[in-house]
Structure 1
Amino acid sequence: MPTHIEDKDQLEASSEHEKSSSDVHTPTDEKGIHAEGAWACPPEWAERMRLEYSGNHEGESLPAGSDVDRVIAAVMTFSPKEALAKLEEAIEIHRRDLSFMDTAMERITLLARGPEAAELSYDEWEYLVCKQAGLIFNWSPYPEVRAVTLPYDDVEEPCETLRAYALGMFWCIGCTIVNTFFGPRQPGISIPLSLVQLVLVPMGQFMAWSLPDWGFRFRGTRYTLNPGPWTAKEQLFATIVMSAATQGNQGGLLAMRMPQFFDQKWVGFGFEICLGLANQCMGLGSAGLLRRLTMYPVQAVWPQSLPLLALNRTLVHSDNKREVINGWKMSRWLMFMVSSLVFLVWYWLPNNLFQALQRFDWMVWIKPSNFNLNIVTGAWGGMGFNPISTFDPNYSGNATMMSPFFAQFQQYIMRVVGGIVIMALYYSNYAWGAYMPINSGGTFTNTQQSYNSSIVLNPDNSLNETAYRAYSPPYYSSAALFKTGAEFAWYTITIVYVFIRYYGVISRAVKGAIKTLGRGKSTYDGFDDPHTRMIRKYKEVPEWWFLIVLLLGFMVSVIACEYFPTDTPWWSILAFVGIGYVLLIPWCITESIAATGIGFDTLWHLLPGLWWPGKLIPQLMIVMLGSAFDIQAGAFMQDLKYVQYAHLPPRSIFRGHISSVVISTFFYIIITDWLVTGYNTGTFCDLDDPQKMVCAWPRQTWSNTIFYGVFGTRRMFKLYPILPYCFLIGAVIGLVWALGEIVSPKIRARALKNCSAKTYARLDRWLFNPVANGIGYINPAIALSGMMQWSNQNNLSMATTGIYLAWFFQYYLKRKYTAWWSKYAYLIFAGLSVGITISGLISTLAFSFGAGRGKSVKWWGNSASSNTINWLSYQDKPGGSLMHVANGTYFGVEPQHFP
């Protein structure tokens, strides 16, 4: 934005005066050394900023363990003239950035227009211009990132130490064992990173207190058992090493091996190791090669990484005890502990003592026999249109801080729209949906029974055409059909929209990767994000290291396909790697901005169903290997963002990743083999297993493989001809939306040039502004993902409480009480995660494996929903359907027209 000439002249004069003044606070580098010849922050500004960050203030709060003087020296580096230019640059960069707070954009826009527009004195305006520019370009444009990171770095702070490796590997092995053992259970149990962070602190501090300072020197670096106090970088390094704990391909392997499923006797340890290592290597290699898209750009926030970073600093560092924020003096540590204790106790109420509070079906209780009331408002098998839907924060509030409010709001609105469309399909009996429960994820026969695929299978798992003609095609519920179509549309809308919208970013990333591989250029080249500047001090991981890891994964996957009797041609690995990369690029962009990404599982079922109809094991191989491109690569990408935000040495993390994924892979395969051969008591993976080890994930994998492999993709498209058109619909929407963003400003400019002022004013008010605001605020790739949150009894009740919490924490508090929000919000939700995890572990061990096995509190509050139509729909029972078939009749296509 242009600045008044008088202001520019004054700026230049002021700048010259400041450079010549001896009474200044000279900026320092990160070690406190004065930077000669640089603009110096006036001492009164430094004192003012010090009071703002350490006293009774209303601004932002510094992360735990911050040195306020180093923060000031790192932030206040621009002269007023330079700062004004930086603000104008920020306005252009973040004009269409939905993660950039609208209030912050309004503030810097007014500041860029000059002191009169901002209604400030000149001195006050100068200070705020320099401060805002410094915060944006020397720290981060986003307050949520500033709340958990530092604008400076201690390069000598220990990170990759022997004790950090020891603790990281200990928890990697332990969590792999626990997560893999309980993976087949419904509900499953897994140990979150936040809980491991909590126990790492006393373990690390104990090692720092007890271990001797024994070590050796190698190539100029000393390696010791005890380098001093336990540090935040060691804590995060150990957590990243532990985060490799994985269940890997357990679902696919159990589907392959268990007699209830495919019963492949040839599957053994060698095949499983090949498959596991291929999956991990391709995921790690893919994540590393996409760093230019997912790690270095400032807009790639990865919001789901921020709560862990907040907890990491809180557990290791102490707070500024003088700090008072909106009247609150409570420390971060105390807030985290109080939150953990509250949710540890509260967990038992909706999950054990008063289970009706979990899915609060109060509207259904008004008239349990009213079918429409059950279907529209029911939280079990209905649509969940209920304004007060749950009192269990784990049910819909646990992920509130994982995604920005704009993303959650768009998704919620589209989720509501999707629910309305599903009800329209259901009540109009489109595609026979009224004969099935509205929101089921299962498949049904034409007599309203759950589909039993074993009836139509030969002993070799091929389709028995005669039995199939006498039985039924598998039919989708209205929600499942809608979700499948929306998922197909999402793939193409995301590819088309993201590749057009972010063409420049993607193009630069691809060209940069090619130059790096071909000419030895640095991966840091072209990126000036403040946190990227700080990790430049450390040796980077060359692009070719990740390429070797990726190629190693590719070769091992080819060995797994060719050496073992998988019946999977090696060229299919090339095909799915190419397709996976095309999808991974838009996936990682939307995930890094809004924590929104849809898995590729459906596509990995769909394509083999077209390539090899009737062949099940090749399809299962593609499904298992394909998880490298969303599940594994996504996890590694988030770890790489930790590297940037916490300023960890990249090569240290690479070594930690390589060692931990190898160890984790061996252990999850050992535990999976033991579950099949040693633990199996005869009911393992059966639906009536007394310990609830029902293998829900393997069962779903097996069911989908049967559906797409045996029934076949082509048959499904014949039964539901609308589905293939969803790919086209998504591509058209993505193209129109992207072109609209490009063309609409040009149309507006031409109208301004050619129309009269009165005509343009009307057009601007009723057409241009609404269209510009809609296009600018809505990201179709993010919004459409909300429409897919249906089926499998996943309904609106799971999101309603979450959107209330998201508005309160991510919108209201973040804007009105920014300092309070930045200090406490992430810790409240970290405490929620830790509290419910501890209670969940205790509850599961006590009531499924311990003395309380099979016991529960029996009263109305725990059985209120079980006598409703909504509950029948949840159980996939015929009584939960709108329409019914008489005995001896059926719905759907005639037997002679079965696809």
Structure 2
Amino acid sequence: MSNLEELDKTGVYKLETPTLDETLNEKDNGAPQDWYERLKDEYSGHHELESLPPGCDPDRFAVAIFTMDENQSAECLANILNNLHNDYTFDLTQVARMRELIAGPESCGLAHEEWAYQVCKMAGIFHNWSAYLEVRAVTLPYDNVEEPCETFRAYLVGFFWVLVMTAVNTFFAPRQPGIGIPNQVAQLLCVPMGRGLATILPKWGFSIRGHRYEINSHHPWSAKEQLFTTIIFSGSTSYGNFTGLLDMRMPIFFGQKWATYGFCLLVAVSNQCFGMGMAGILRRLTVYPTEAVWPGNLPTIALTRALVSGENKNEVINGWKLRRLHMFGIVAVIFGIYYWIPNELFGAIRNFNWMTWISPQNFTLAVVTGGFGGLGFNPISSLDPSTFGFLGGGQGMSAPFFAQLQQYVLRIFGGIVILALYFSNSMWGAYLPINSNGVFDNKGQNYNYTKVINADSTVNLDGYKDYGPPYYTTSNLFVTGGNFVYYTFSIVYVFVKYRYALKKCFVGMVVNTWKRRSIYTGFTDGATRMMRKYPEVPEWWYSILFACGFVTSICSVAAFPTTTPWWSIFGLVGVGFVLTIPYTIIQSVANTGINLGVIWQVLPGVWFPGKPIAQLMLLMYGGAFEQEAGGFTADLKYAMYARIPPRAIFRGHLVAQVVNCIIYVAMIDVMLAYANATGTLCQYDNPQFMVCAYAHSVYSSTIAFGAFGTNNMFKLYPVIPYCFVIGAVLGVMWIVGESYGPKIHVFLEKRMHARSFTSFDRYVWTPCGNVLAYVHPAIAINGMLQWSGNNGLTQATQGIMLTWFFQFWLKRRYSAFWQKYAYLIWAGMAVGATISGLIITLVFSFGAGSGKELKWWGNEVQKDGIDYALYNNKGSYLPLPERGYFGLEPQDFPTNW
């Protein structure tokens, strides 16, 4: 029996951690004995420093930190500073402290003994644990290699939720508002399920080639099992880029009867193979580097550890004794109750367009300040966190404050540009609503595709010449052009800025495979060193997956009447591979990525215009490089944080994705049967509100780009294609500015008068330099594109305020409190909101309260003006011209098919 195991009174083995003395006897790190006790005191009991995460043993923590002497520690800190000099997320106060310690005891004003303790502690924490407070809040600085992880009961619980969540979330995804089982609720229920299985399952097993396989482990339900289970269902229940299959099969859309279950399964599985293979290939670039934090993982890990792992006893932080789970429960209850106020009882404070109440019919006021169809320039835009983006799909605690602030500032700038274009009637935008993602005809009505599309989804040229091309709103055009700028800018900037990391990634992949070296070669941080204990996933495993996705995708487009040329898969792979690199790099740092959907609308419209089904196929396959590759890359980082064996996560995720595809495609058949029975599915008169809003959006873009054709769109809006050139030029200019900025500073100092240069340096150069030092342009520009589809500052203003409070003020002022409670407060708010949302949806949409609502001024005033009319695509700044239509004359309609 291992020295880490002990038989308890129930006959179940439990993990026991060795005492400090026992650990020191096994591994003498040479540090003074009092250092260990001092460090334990600083991180436990009554303190205001950092807090240990749930389940962290203070003795093992102390031993894990002190592994270097003061000289090694100073050198280690210097290396960390050098490696993180371009890291925009690293705390500058920590940077200053590191520089002081590196300089020696005299610079710090410390005695040598105290300096030695401080430098060894900081270097040990950063090198053996993590340089980021966010990561230290949810991970352990050591690993229990014998802790159960990939067990039968973990698979059983995980696959149960894959089945349930895929079926439920897929079927109700078309509903508006949506309904589904959130991951946090499944996390909560996994704990009693896992502990129940640990009690009732028989404790027997069998051996194969000397390895023991057990139905039920002798250990209780562990944190690693909970983390492994969570990653199985959370990474395998998405359905976003498969919406195209719904469009392909539903009668209201393309209604392709040849798209049977087998075809849909082939598309879905090949899609997953593409994504997993791509993620594995990019591991060295987007998983192993320390700065690739993937902040979106951290709240999930925090909740999971709090649910399973025990608290540190007698801990008081900043005067608070409350346990993590108690804080989580209190916040969940409070916000679950509060959720009813803005969403049922007082709807006016949800999209709080109070400024438009002054003059509801004032068009300019509604456009600028409105929260429904306006741009939302409103200092108090919402009193519902689930609306303004702090919860759910919003970033909130899942992205660094610096990233969200940059995006918010650029979002304001983008809104100002949209207003200027709109009120100047640029590209006929003033004849349409300002912030809709709808497509319109030249009379300002929703574009009727049936007038220009034949029954076989080809273009009816005579009908088109009579009806005219589709027109786009100002915000929609701005976002489309902005995405083109963003693509080329991010490619230039990321490939130059991260050129050494890219070289290390791809050269390392080839050399390490050829020489059969570890895939971790070149990475020495604490998490990577701990993962070396487990067998690696070979490069060729992921290469085979990617090859399978490539072959099956060609088969799917060639063996079925998709009208998609087989060679287009080569173009898709090439473009997707290039764009996935900046996407995953930016996502790993700031939890925000490039919207690749636009490029998969535009390229097919260039390659084969007039073929909407072909455009739909590439749109689905292109999603693999964004959603699936990015999602699995995040899961690989999650596995590192959770110390889950790499091959376990590979096996679990692969099988779960296959199950997910099988269930998802089956649910499309169920929905097709449901549509045939009622005849209203995906129509706006569906009594259960199953209107398929996202599927309608995909269908519209498919027709607009696939049938109308990108060439025609570029002729209608000739400025749009130049955005690609603008992005590349801006990328080069930014890189040149970063590279030659110091030389320009020296040049100006030599050429300018001393007094003039001093003023210029003090009031212009230094302030601008300090601001730009925090700016990551590829992240900031992304914020400028968060418009259209009635998205505006309403979804951001109060969110950035809450983010400032949590991620900046609280984190720096009360670090220990933030580390212990912040993620659990966020999770409690999200869980309370989602549970109340489920109850409201089930009761008032499917239950006894169906069709009922509380009618009073507070639920109706926000809908009484121009703002809500714009939300419903009604209203424009300018009336139609006297001729009865706007835009091109009929003889000038583009016909480049």
The TM tier, using the shorter chain, reads over 0.9
1:620 alignment counterpart: 616
Match among 371, 374, 379 for residue 387 of structure 1: 379
Which string of whole-angstrom CA distances, capped at 9 and with x for unpartnered residues, describes residues 746-804 of structure 1? Answer: 44456678989767645543454244324321111100000111000000010001100
Aligned partner of 1:202: which letter? Answer: P
1:237 alignment counterpart: 228
- Is this contact kept in 2: 1:282–1:554, CA < 8 A? yes
2: CA distance, partners of 1:818 / 1:897: 64
- Is this contact kept in 2: 1:336–1:831, CA < 8 A? yes
The CA deviation at 1:217 is 2.4
Match among 298, 301, 307 for residue 315 of structure 1: 307
1: CA distance, partners of 2:147 / 2:19: 22
Match among 392, 397, 414 for residue 410 of structure 2: 414
Match among 657, 668, 678 for residue 661 of structure 1: 657
Task: Out of 221-230 and 111-120, give the one that drifted further.
Answer: 111-120
2: CA distance, partners of 1:524 / 1:671: 41
Tell me the SS of whatever aligns to 1:216: strand
The CA deviation at 1:262 is 1.0
1: CA distance, partners of 2:376 / 2:836: 27
Gaps of 5+ in 2: 1-17
2: CA distance, partners of 1:540 / 1:563: 37
The answer to whether structure 1 residue 159 and structure 2 residue 149 are counterparts is: yes
- Is this contact kept in 2: 1:364–1:374, CA < 8 A? yes
Match among 490, 494, 511 for residue 494 of structure 1: 490
The answer to whether structure 1 residue 839 and structure 2 residue 836 are counterparts is: yes
Aligned partner of 2:159: which letter? Answer: M
1:729 alignment counterpart: 726
Distance 1:798 1:678, change over 3 A: closer
1:565 alignment counterpart: 561
1:460 alignment counterpart: 456
Match among 528, 536, 542 for residue 546 of structure 1: 542
1:333 alignment counterpart: 325
- Is this contact kept in 1: 2:303–2:827, CA < 8 A? yes
The CA deviation at 1:517 is 3.5
Which string of whole-angstrom CA distances, capped at 9 and with x for unpartnered residues, describes residues 579-634 of structure 1? Answer: 10100001000000001102211111100100001011111110111111011111
- Is this contact kept in 1: 2:242–2:268, CA < 8 A? no
Aligned partner of 2:568: which letter? Answer: S
- Is this contact kept in 2: 1:741–1:775, CA < 8 A? no
Tell me the SS of whatever aligns to 1:222: strand
Aligned partner of 2:617: which letter? Answer: M
2:467 alignment counterpart: 471
2: CA distance, partners of 1:31 / 1:793: 59
Structure 1 residues 619-768: aligned runs within 5 Å: 619-678=615-674, 680=676, 681-748=678-745, 761-762=758-759, 764-768=761-765
The CA deviation at 1:33 is 5.3
Tell me the SS of whatever aligns to 2:255: coil
Total equivalences in the alignment = 870
Which string of whole-angstrom CA distances, capped at 9 and with x for unpartnered residues, describes residues 784-841 of structure 1? Answer: 0001110000000100011001100000011110000000000011112211121121
Match among 118, 139, 161 for residue 171 of structure 1: 161
Tell me the SS of whatever aligns to 1:285: helix
Distance 1:214 1:815, change over 3 A: same
2:10 alignment counterpart: none
- Is this contact kept in 2: 1:285–1:549, CA < 8 A? yes
Match among 789, 798, 803 for residue 801 of structure 1: 798
2: CA distance, partners of 1:760 / 1:118: 33
The CA deviation at 1:109 is 2.1
Structure 1 residues 857-872: aligned runs within 5 Å: 857-872=854-869
Gaps of 5+ in 1: 1-25
The CA deviation at 1:194 is 1.7
- Is this contact kept in 2: 1:250–1:672, CA < 8 A? no
Structure 1 residues 498-509: aligned runs within 5 Å: 498-509=494-505
Distance 1:500 1:322, change over 3 A: same
Tell me the SS of whatever aligns to 1:853: coil
1:351 alignment counterpart: 343
1: CA distance, partners of 2:782 / 2:25: 50
Distance 1:603 1:31, change over 3 A: farther
Tell me the SS of whatever aligns to 1:864: helix
Tell me the SS of whatever aligns to 1:863: helix
2:528 alignment counterpart: 532
1:850 alignment counterpart: 847
1: CA distance, partners of 2:20 / 2:449: 71
2: CA distance, partners of 1:346 / 1:732: 49
Tell me the SS of whatever aligns to 1:630: helix
Among the aligned pairs, what percent are the same residue?
51
The CA deviation at 1:465 is 2.3
The CA deviation at 1:722 is 1.1
Match among 571, 590, 606 for residue 586 of structure 2: 590
Tell me the SS of whatever aligns to 2:175: coil
Tell me the SS of whatever aligns to 2:708: helix
Distance 1:365 1:60, change over 3 A: same
Match among 591, 602, 607 for residue 611 of structure 1: 607
2: CA distance, partners of 1:370 / 1:840: 33
1: CA distance, partners of 2:762 / 2:240: 54
Tell me the SS of whatever aligns to 1:660: helix
Task: Out of 210-219 and 823-832, give the one that drifted further.
Answer: 210-219
2: CA distance, partners of 1:756 / 1:536: 59
Tell me the SS of whatever aligns to 1:60: coil
Which string of whole-angstrom CA distances, capped at 9 and with x for unpartnered residues, describes residues 730-751 of structure 1? Answer: 1111111122212213444566
Tell me the SS of whatever aligns to 1:865: helix
Distance 1:434 1:653, change over 3 A: same
1: CA distance, partners of 2:457 / 2:818: 56
2: CA distance, partners of 1:426 / 1:30: 72
Match among 247, 263, 270 for residue 262 of structure 2: 270
1: CA distance, partners of 2:275 / 2:717: 34
Aligned partner of 2:200: which letter? Answer: S
2: CA distance, partners of 1:753 / 1:539: 59
The CA deviation at 1:526 is 1.0
1:375 alignment counterpart: 367
The answer to whether structure 1 residue 555 and structure 2 residue 547 are counterparts is: no
The CA deviation at 1:113 is 2.8
The answer to whether structure 1 residue 400 and structure 2 residue 391 are counterparts is: no
Aligned partner of 1:542: which letter? Answer: P
1: CA distance, partners of 2:36 / 2:23: 17
1: CA distance, partners of 2:788 / 2:281: 35
- Is this contact kept in 2: 1:30–1:70, CA < 8 A? no
Match among 134, 137, 152 for residue 144 of structure 1: 134
The CA deviation at 1:225 is 2.2
- Is this contact kept in 1: 2:843–2:850, CA < 8 A? yes
- Is this contact kept in 2: 1:294–1:588, CA < 8 A? yes
Which string of whole-angstrom CA distances, capped at 9 and with x for unpartnered residues, describes residues 164-184 of structure 1? Answer: 010001111111101110111
The answer to whether structure 1 residue 443 and structure 2 residue 435 are counterparts is: no
Task: Out of 204-213 and 753-762, give the one that drifted further.
Answer: 753-762
Which 4+ stretches in 1 moved above 4 angstroms?
26-33, 749-763
1: CA distance, partners of 2:21 / 2:746: 46
The answer to whether structure 1 residue 211 and structure 2 residue 207 are counterparts is: no
Which string of whole-angstrom CA distances, capped at 9 and with x for unpartnered residues, describes residues 480-509 of structure 1? Answer: 111111111111111110000000001110
Aligned partner of 1:308: which letter? Answer: T
- Is this contact kept in 2: 1:248–1:665, CA < 8 A? no
The answer to whether structure 1 residue 96 and structure 2 residue 86 are counterparts is: yes
1:132 alignment counterpart: 122
Match among 355, 361, 379 for residue 363 of structure 1: 355
The CA deviation at 1:210 is 2.2
1:892 alignment counterpart: 887
2: CA distance, partners of 1:764 / 1:500: 28
The answer to whether structure 1 residue 821 and structure 2 residue 818 are counterparts is: yes
2: CA distance, partners of 1:162 / 1:95: 45
TM-score normalised to the size of structure 1?
0.94
- Is this contact kept in 2: 1:246–1:665, CA < 8 A? no
